[in-house]
Structure 1
Amino acid sequence: MYIKLALVVTICSYNRINTIYNYVYRLSLNINLSLYRYQRIVVLFIKMIIFINIFVMFALF
């Protein structure tokens, strides 16, 4: 049960990464942000989501 829940959380967070990625990408196209800055923002979001996943898994087990 816990493993299934962890899997669901992981899948949901990957969907969130994709939506954030697309949103930031569109924003960067609109504002013409530099690619370097855009990549840093995306990496930050992914690190944050991975950290949340690890935290949730530790909270469950």
Structure 2
Amino acid sequence: MRPTDRHGTDPELDAQIIARFRESLDAMPVTLPPFAQVLERAQSAPRRRGPRRFPTTLAA
């Protein structure tokens, strides 16, 4: 059962929920490591030898 099966659709309520969600995302502090640290980790990571393979569910 989908949520809309019971309650129907309400564009105004949807807009309010989306607005609150965006506000909560804006309120979350985001800290990123210095770029040099990110670059160092990327360069020290082991290299892949073959082509990148995707799961069979995504390949088709």
Q: TM-score range by the shorter chain?
A: 0.3 to 0.5
TM-score scaled to structure 1, two decimals?
0.36
Specify the structure having the higher radius of gyration (Cα): 2
Bigger proportion of residues as helix:
1
TM-score, length-normalised on structure 2?
A: 0.37
Higher RCO structure, 1 or 2 (CA under 8 Å, sep 6+): 1
